[in-house]
Structure 1
């Protein structure tokens, strides 16, 4: 009888231990984001490079460990630095918070995985979950960084995201017949009131002379400039650009933004009123 009770007790203990482990790794504890892109266009200022990369990241709110796998390809040279930088939104730079360069493969293409403690000092949890840190890989030709990737977790209640908003001439008012096109990925953080965006375009008929967010206007109507991001915008017929803007309640208002009353516009000398446009709709 005692042997039976001992065996039963051991089973109960094992069940309790396994249950505790499962509770420790509940979905509420961990946030993940796979396939975060790294590119020269996310550098500030943007870099022209054929290099690219991506990152898979996860953060455990109980252990405070940030785990990531970083992949890169076709760098212009052997890496000279690899870090997490912060705090900075898209379109701004910041200092090094975690240096993992000594451990990565010293190759132009490679992969690396590790973890870092979010200690509240060098890396802060709230800032991490608000997308204010980024990966950066440096090379001899690009000492300030050749490819960069913002660390963003989209599946959170205070984040709204829309991928692949289409830039077309037909959205212009009046409509424009053009082969130019593009896409915009947008993310709005209701806690920080930051609107972040990543814009791609191709086949413009002329060198850009302006690039803005306009509002407030629904589809089929025009409005004035509320955010001018042309000063650092590449003067290319095709390209990519990343930045962010504060939804300050004056130039850009949250309610109007979430109701689709702002739009991106790229202008040139042939189409001074705008060649391609994309309404910001969620």
Structure 2
């Protein structure tokens, strides 16, 4: 019996040691985000391109190193520039902070990995963790940038995220019968008070004549415009768009936002009150 207990004791000791090793191999000071999208729709103004891409990023708060892997496909031409830009939220542009073009493959489809110190000068840790830098790949066809991807870390206590919020005609008041649909990804940063969003839509019955955030209103009720983002919104029946807005406590208030009292609405000439709507609910 004692031999059996000893064997079980050794087994549990081995399991505990392995668990301790796993904890050690996953540092608590590292934040990661995989699959950040790169697209022409994130450029400002948005670019029409078949190119796509994604980024995996990791930041170590102890070594202050940002490590990343970029993947891209179907650029209109080989890259003529590749950088991290900042500081800028979605829907605005900024200068180059880290130029890694020299080592990037000159291919329309490719991959590249590198690291950069977050030194407090070119790159600042607070701005990085608040989503104020972005990747940009430039080409001769789109010298200002063909695909862009915001560097955002979602798993942080001051960040709330909701992906795939549906945009439908049935959410309109009164409901609209339409084959059109869409989705919205939203991220709210409680430190910067920025609401960032990435909206996609398909098969509107006519080109958009308005695109807004409305509030305050629950599902089943209507309200006025609080954020008009139509100026740079693509005037296409299907498309994508990315932007951000300050939750300033006047037009948009934090408590009402987190309680689901604002909604996206896309309007057109056939449905002037809105064809598809999506309630912002975290």
Confirm or deny a common fold (TM above 0.5). yes
- The runs of at least 4 consecutive aligned structure 1 residues that moved more than 4 Å come to 19-23
Give the match for residue 125 of structure 1. Answer: 125
Residues 19-78 of structure 1 show CA distances to partners (whole Å, capped at 9, x for unaligned) of 99975x653210000000000000000000000000000000000000000000000001
- Structure 1 Cα separation of the partners of residues 219 and 101 of structure 2: 48
Secondary structure at 2:267 match in 1 = strand
- Structure 2 Cα separation of the partners of residues 224 and 59 of structure 1: 41
- Structure 2 Cα separation of the partners of residues 184 and 241 of structure 1: 10
Give the match for residue 270 of structure 1. Answer: 270
- Structure 2 Cα separation of the partners of residues 109 and 240 of structure 1: 22
Give the match for residue 212 of structure 1. Answer: 212
Give the match for residue 64 of structure 1. Answer: 64
Give the match for residue 182 of structure 1. Answer: 182
Give the match for residue 81 of structure 2. Answer: 81
The alignment covers a number of residue pairs equal to 263
Give the match for residue 151 of structure 1. Answer: 151
The 5-angstrom pairing of residues 102-251 of structure 1 reads: 102-251=102-251
Secondary structure at 2:79 match in 1 = coil
Identify if the C-alpha distance between structure 1 residues 102 and 170 changes in structure 2 by more than 3 Å, giving closer, same or farther: same
Give the match for residue 16 of structure 2. Answer: none
- Structure 1 Cα separation of the partners of residues 197 and 259 of structure 2: 17
The 5-angstrom pairing of residues 31-70 of structure 1 reads: 31-70=31-70
Give the match for residue 5 of structure 1. Answer: none
Runs of 5+ consecutive residues of structure 2 not aligned to the other structure: 1-19
Q: Would you say 1:30 and 2:33 are equivalent positions?
A: no
Runs of 5+ consecutive residues of structure 1 not aligned to the other structure: 1-18
- Structure 1 Cα separation of the partners of residues 169 and 187 of structure 2: 23
Residues 83-126 of structure 1 show CA distances to partners (whole Å, capped at 9, x for unaligned) of 00000000000000000001010000000001000000000000
Secondary structure at 2:156 match in 1 = coil
> What TM-score do you get using the length of structure 1 for normalisation?
0.92
How large is the RMSD of aligned CA atoms in angstroms? 1.3
Identify if the C-alpha distance between structure 1 residues 223 and 82 changes in structure 2 by more than 3 Å, giving closer, same or farther: same
> What TM-score do you get using the length of structure 2 for normalisation?
0.92
Identify if the C-alpha distance between structure 1 residues 20 and 172 changes in structure 2 by more than 3 Å, giving closer, same or farther: closer
Identify if the C-alpha distance between structure 1 residues 176 and 28 changes in structure 2 by more than 3 Å, giving closer, same or farther: same
Give the match for residue 13 of structure 1. Answer: none
- Structure 2 Cα separation of the partners of residues 207 and 77 of structure 1: 30
